A = this chain, B = another copy of it.
């Protein structure tokens, strides 16, 4: 839903296989849950969603799957508020950007990420093969701004 589920699921499942992991039913369902959940979601959100979907995948498996997906940069954990990670699904291009208000914790997703050329350069300089990135901006939203 959020990120073109129909294409995202087979794409990610094939990435699993390509990396030498099994394309299991549990992994597919967690992926589907991630796609159908809006934007940021916690492990608990995923667990609930998966249960709602009629699957009885266990807590432990959900955690293991989220960890694997993170390792493959299919998702990435971020901190917005509270002490549990919120996962974001990285689209095929690997870009994610959002603004968090440090006062009310409101999150605004940014559609675009204008930093392509610079990223390539950084990747080359540091000899890394980029798989994705997250830009987190912190700033008071209009409602919380000290200035008004």
Q: Which residues of A contact B (CB under 8 A)?
A: 70-73, 76-79, 83, 85, 94, 99, 101-103, 108, 110, 114-115, 118-119, 122-123, 126-142, 145-147
Contacts and interface: CB of A to CB of B under 8 A. Distances in A.
Contacts of A129: 139-140, 145-147
The copy count of this chain in the complex is: 2
A108 to B, nearest CB: 6
A72 B76 CA distance: 24
Contacts of A142: 127-128
A100 B59 CA distance: 27
B133 A138 contact: yes
Given A79-B78, A129-B145, A145-B129, A103 B139 contact: no
Contacts of A136: 76, 133-136
